[in-house]
């Protein structure tokens, strides 16, 4: 979910607009140079030298495009997201092939031509209107429409079109569906293994103890009594195993007390003090509630295992049709969501509901994990909890 720009930032001052125009003029020679390098590198792509040239030029062109995308977002009052597809993996050749398959690479190439020609002319005109004294009135009234025109064209080139967004959405949904299917199959195998190795083994032992107790009941009542006692212990252990399996599927506290109450119960069991701000005006759909609960549980488990934190916090909120969960800690930082099956599992769970996960974890901390899932809330069935745990 994009963060709205504050009202003061939606209308930059005329001097700031002129500064943006000056920056665009200064960047035009670099845009022209990158355009030439990319065209030459692409023509020589069958040779190693061409691949190396493209591998160096594409990141530079994307850096320049990001700077102009940020300026366009500031001028137009709408932040423009980074539209590039993730890298295919290590290796120069794979990276270059991934860039070639990304439609935004080609849009950037055309944008470089625009930025070095007609875009340069617009920005240069905006600067000259201020520099030339007799055109001060024209600058005062013309700088804003000129810059909005320049940035609107930049946005057209640097942000995917409607068709491209739909195609990318289909790709994302296809990938997330495949991941969810794999995750579901893994979960089923885990449940089968837990039942086979835990509850089933204990129930077999229970049956054997009861059978032996029945066979010796008449000849040795005391031995039968001990076997029945052992059977009773096996029953208690089997019930515990079944409860553990059920908690892994859908915790009873989540069904009874909702997401806020379930997160509060999680916090009570942690060795690290957790500050809670979990009041919600209603309850999300049960599948979303479960996905967010397990995501928060995984994040809190990572706090205890890896962060070395003295304090942690969890915030839940529902804003603009999106359920937001923030899990933070004051630990050592350096968390990498790309490593470890736990965080990858969190991303898979959320992707099934069009959700996202963002991680901010600089070295030295703090770490902040933000989870967002679009959903509507129903009327509350339980009283949400809030406060320190």
Question: Could you read off the pLDDT of 87-122 as tens digits, one per residue?
Answer: 766 778 888 888 888 888 999 999 999 999 999 999
Residues 179-198: what's their mean pLDDT? 64
Residue corresponding to tokens 């423009």: 80
Q: What is the model's pLDDT at position 10?
A: 56
pLDDT score for 171:
66
Residue with tokens 């019930």: 239
pLDDT band at 7 (very low <50, low <70, confident <90, very high): very low
Strands, E, within the chain: which ranges? Answer: 274-277, 312-319, 322-329, 356-360, 367-374, 387-388
Residue 240 has pLDDT above 70, yes or no: no
Residues 54-81: what's their mean pLDDT? 91
More confident residue, 163 or 160: 160
| Nearest to 198, CA basis, from 256, 240, 261, 162 | 240
User: If pLDDT is split at 50, 70 and 90, which confidence band does 8 have?
Assistant: very low
Average pLDDT over residues 38-66: 89
CA 156 – CA 2 distance, rounded (Å): 18
- Strands of the sheet with 387-388, listed across from one edge: 356-360, 367-374, 322-329, 312-319, 274-277, 387-388
How much is the average pLDDT of 23-30? Answer: 95
Q: Is residue 26 scored above 60 in pLDDT?
A: yes
Nearest-10 Cα torsion for 233, 238, 239, 240: 90
* Residue 383, pLDDT score: 41
Mean pLDDT in the chain? 80
What pTM does this model have? 0.51
Q: How confident is the model at residue 162 (pLDDT cuts 50, 70, 90)?
A: low
3-state helix, strand, coil in the chain (%, to 5): 65, 10, 25
| Angstrom distance (rounded) from CA 354 to CA 144 | 37
Instruction: Work out the average pLDDT over 15-40.
Output: 94
pLDDT at 389 over 50: no
Kindly tell me the burial class for residue 160, based on how many C-beta atoms sit within 10 Å of its own C-beta (0-12, 13-18, 19 or more).
middle
Lowest mean pLDDT among 119-128, 198-207, 296-305: 198-207
Give the pLDDT of residue 38: 92
Average pLDDT over residues 168-175: 66
**What is the pLDDT, as a whole number, of residue 196?**
66
Tell me the range of 80-84, 140-144, 225-229, 361-365 where mean pLDDT is highest.
140-144
pLDDT tier, 169 (very low <50, low <70, confident <90, very high otherwise): low
pLDDT of residue 217: 77
- Percentage with pLDDT > 90 across the chain: 24
Summarised one tens digit per residue, pLDDT across range 204-234 is 777 777 778 777 777 878 887 887 887 777 7
Which one is predicted more confidently, 380 or 258?
Answer: 258
Lowest mean pLDDT, pick from 34-43, 246-255, 283-292: 246-255
The Cα 193–Cα 315 span in angstroms is 35
| Rounded average pLDDT over 236-254 | 66
pLDDT value at position 37? 93
| Range among 25-34, 201-210, 222-231, 314-323 rated most confident | 25-34
């Amino acid at each position: 979910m994009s963060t709205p720009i504050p009202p003061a930032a939606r209308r930059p001052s005329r001097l700031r607009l002129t500064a943006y125009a000056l920056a665009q003029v200064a960047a035009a020679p670099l845009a022209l140079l990158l355009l030439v390098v990319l065209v030459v590198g692409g023509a020589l792509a069958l040779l190693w030298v061409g691949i190396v040239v493209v591998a160096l030029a594409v990141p530079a062109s994307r850096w320049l495009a990001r700077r102009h995308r940020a300026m366009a977002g500031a001028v137009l009052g709408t932040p423009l997201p980074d539209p590039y597809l993730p890298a295919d993996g290590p290796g120069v050749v794979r990276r270059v092939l991934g860039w070639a398959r990304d439609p935004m690479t080609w849009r950037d190439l055309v944008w470089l031509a625009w930025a070095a020609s007609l875009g340069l002319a617009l920005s240069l005109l905006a600067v000259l209107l201020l520099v030339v004294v007799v055109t001060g009135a024209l600058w005062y009234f013309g700088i804003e429409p000129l810059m909005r025109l320049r940035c609107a064209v930049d946005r057209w080139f640097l942000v995917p079109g409607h068709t491209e967004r739909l195609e990318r959405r289909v790709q994302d949904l296809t990938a997330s569906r495949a991941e969810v299917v794999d995750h579901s199959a893994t979960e089923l195998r885990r449940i089968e293994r837990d039942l086979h190795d835990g509850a089933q083994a204990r129930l077999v032992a229970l049956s054997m103890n009861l059978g032996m107790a029945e066979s010796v009941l008449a000849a040795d009542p005391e031995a039968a009594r001990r076997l029945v006692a052992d059977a009773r212990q096996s029953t208690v252990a089997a019930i515990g195993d079944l409860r553990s399996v059920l908690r892994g599927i859908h915790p009873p506290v989540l069904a009874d007390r909702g997401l806020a109450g379930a997160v509060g119960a999680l916090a009570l069991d942690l060795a690290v003090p957790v500050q809670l701000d979990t009041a919600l005006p209603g309850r999300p759909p049960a599948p979303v509630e479960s996905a967010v609960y397990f995501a928060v549980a995984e994040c809190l488990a990572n706090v205890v295992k890896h962060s070395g934190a003295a304090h942690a916090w969890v915030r839940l909120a529902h804003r603009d049709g999106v359920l937001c969960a923030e899990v933070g800690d004051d630990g050592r930082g350096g968390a990498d969501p790309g490593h470890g099956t736990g965080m990858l599992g969190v991303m898979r769970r959320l992707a099934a509901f069009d959700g996202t996960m963002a991680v901010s974890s600089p070295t030295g901390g703090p770490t902040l994990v933000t989870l967002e899932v679009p959903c509507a809330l129903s009327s509350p069935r339980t009283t949400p909890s809030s406060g320190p745990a």
